[in-house]
A and B are shown apart, each in its own frame.
Chain A
Amino acid sequence: MSNEHKISTFPFGPQDVLLPEPIKFQFYVDGDKIIKVDPAIGYVHRGLERAAELNDYRRNLYLCERICGICNVIHGQTYAGLIERMTDTEIPERAEYLRTTWGELARLQSHLLWLGLFAEAVGFEELFLKIWRDREIILQLNEATNGHRIHLGTTMIGGAVKDLDEKLANKYLTDLELLKNQMDNWADFFRKDPEFLKKTVGIGLLPKKDAIHSGAVGPVIRASGIPQDMRTNGYQAYGKIDFEPITYDGCDVYSRALVRLDETYQSIELIKQSLKQMPEGPIAVLCEEFPRGEVVYRTEQPRGEVFYYGKGNGTIHLERLKIRTPTMPNIPPLLTMLTGDYKQNIPAIVHSIDPCISCTERITEIKEEN
């Protein structure tokens, strides 16, 4: 038998029980070690930017809210922010606080969803059930707020659709306290459980330098020790409440889990602060002009920075709307993490960037074979 190692290849995705979303990886492996990875996206490309150009700019709000189910609130807020900047509309201060509250509520449910999925991906199914049971508290708060469990639909161009009365604000505070107590039951599992540590510490390494060079965003870059967070720019009410980005220096899958776990606690505190400081007053203003000029608007989604570029020409249609969701810049770092690691760690590493491929699909790669 020869001692020569032969590089073999195998595909992973676009449909796989371990993959939450349709992305394909072609792995080149030497034994169990990954030598190279080729990604391919474009399986659920929907032509959304073109649809946005054909639509009335007011209807685009509902289109943008449907880019992603989990991030719907922040997508809506970002689009509304973009149009408000294009039309020089100043929204009332109360609306800014309301948007912050609902944005953090969305982050909370997204991180809880991810923590559950991640626990399942590394083999802890009961933990997954516990976390999703607790996530139900947030979904019921959503329903009490505006009627829907996932699609909150509280944003409108010029402010917020709905106000929070005192009864509902008190319900927020009591339910979030309940959620915090429930979370304390399983949070230590992520920090201390030896089996969990064995499966996550030291795998999927993304050193600080690589994180910057490959352009990682969100919890992925914060887990490599860089405090990059769009919320520090102080959009909405973030400039007026105490906020410090959470960072960890581990650069591995474990650090990414801890960043998200700590951010869930942070979100609860931010909602409490926001409700406490919320001023009285109107919740919306009329946005009378048509969008004009070129504007960029960036916000922080649960998965990282989302980028909206809009170009208006003073008519009811936008000339161009470009959207970049956080999973797109997190794919190159993912390749760095996977290269040099082992086959058995693939599910944990792929989950660690919290992939949301359906939101990312703005391009389709077509290979011509001669």
Chain B
Amino acid sequence: MTDPILIIEMGTRGEIFFDLSKCDQCQDCERVCPSVAIKVYPEERKIEWNPFKCIYCHTCIRTCMHGAISPLDNVQASDYEKVVKTFE
């Protein structure tokens, strides 16, 4: 089954995407996240993001000094599978 993704036109604050090639593992995003949805593992160069804890405030995107986090326009539909997304 493919992921059912709902796409909304008007400026929706959707999921976030981590570009690991720009990331320097400073953990600023983890520190500012108000809902503790981001976990950074600097030694493994790995970031975990929990879409179900995230409140989609996009504070991490504004905080990242290297522009490594970018917003997407999609939000999950109600039958979205409950998983933690890993960026490596």
Query: Which A residues lie at the B interface, using CB under 8 A?
Result: 56, 58-59, 61-63, 140, 143-148, 151, 153, 156, 161
Which residues on B sit within 8 Å (CB–CB) of A156? 59, 62
CA–CA, A156 to B59, complex, Å?
9
Complex: chain A residue closest to B36, CB-CB:
A59
Q: Please name 18 pairs of A and B residues whose Cβ atoms are closer than 8 Å in the assembled complex, sorted by A.
A: A59-B34, A61-B34, A62-B34, A62-B59, A63-B34, A140-B10, A143-B8, A143-B10, A143-B11, A143-B12, A146-B11, A147-B11, A147-B14, A148-B56, A153-B58, A156-B59, A156-B62, A161-B62
Q: Do A58 and B62 contact each other (CB < 8 Å), given the known contacts A147-B56, A148-B13?
A: no
Which residues on A sit within 8 Å (CB–CB) of B57? 62, 153
Complex: chain B residue closest to A168, CB-CB:
B11
Complex: chain A residue closest to B73, CB-CB:
A147
CA–CA, A62 to B62, complex, Å?
15
CA–CA, A145 to B58, complex, Å?
14
Task: Please determine whether A62 and B11 come into contact, CB atoms closer than 8 angstroms.
Answer: no
B31 at the interface (CB under 8 A from A): yes
Which residues on A sit within 8 Å (CB–CB) of B8? 143
Complex: chain B residue closest to A59, CB-CB:
B34
CA–CA, A147 to B32, complex, Å?
20
Interface-centre pick from B10, B58, B62 (highest chain A CB count, 10 A): B10
Which residues on A sit within 8 Å (CB–CB) of B59? 62, 156
CA–CA, A156 to B57, complex, Å?
11
Task: Please determine whether B55 and A62 come into contact, CB atoms closer than 8 angstroms.
Answer: yes
Task: Please determine whether A56 and B31 come into contact, CB atoms closer than 8 angstroms.
Answer: yes
Which residues on A sit within 8 Å (CB–CB) of B55? 62, 151
9 A-B pairs with least C-beta separation: A147-B13, A62-B34, A59-B34, A147-B12, A144-B10, A147-B11, A143-B10, A153-B57, A144-B11
Q: How many residues of B contact A (CB 8 A)?
A: 16
Q: Mark B39-59, 1 if CB is under 8 A from A, else 0.
A: 000000000000000011111
Which residues on B sit within 8 Å (CB–CB) of A58? 32
Distance to closest chain B CB from A161 (angstroms): 7
Which residues on A sit within 8 Å (CB–CB) of B31? 56
Q: Mark B1-32, 1 if CB is under 8 A from A, else 0.
A: 00000001011111000000000000000011
B70 at the interface (CB under 8 A from A): no
B86 at the interface (CB under 8 A from A): no
Task: Please determine whether A62 and B35 come into contact, CB atoms closer than 8 angstroms.
Answer: yes
CA–CA, A63 to B59, complex, Å?
13
Complex: chain B residue closest to A55, CB-CB:
B34
Complex: chain A residue closest to B75, CB-CB:
A147
Which residues on B sit within 8 Å (CB–CB) of A146? 11, 13
Contacts A59-B32, A59-B34 supplied; 9 other A-B pairs, CB < 8 Å: A58-B32, A62-B34, A62-B59, A144-B11, A145-B11, A147-B10, A147-B13, A147-B56, A151-B55
Which residues on A sit within 8 Å (CB–CB) of B12? 143, 147
Distance to closest chain A CB from B57 (angstroms): 5
CA–CA, A145 to B34, complex, Å?
21
CA–CA, A63 to B35, complex, Å?
9
Which residues on A sit within 8 Å (CB–CB) of B32? 56, 58-59
Complex: chain B residue closest to A143, CB-CB:
B10
Complex: chain B residue closest to A284, CB-CB:
B62
Which residues on A sit within 8 Å (CB–CB) of B35? 62
CA–CA, A144 to B13, complex, Å?
10
Which residues on B sit within 8 Å (CB–CB) of A140? 10
CA–CA, A147 to B31, complex, Å?
24
CA–CA, A176 to B55, complex, Å?
28
Interface-centre pick from B12, B35, B56, B57 (highest chain A CB count, 10 A): B57
Distance to closest chain B CB from A68 (angstroms): 15
Complex: chain A residue closest to B14, CB-CB:
A147
Which residues on A sit within 8 Å (CB–CB) of B10? 140, 143-144, 147
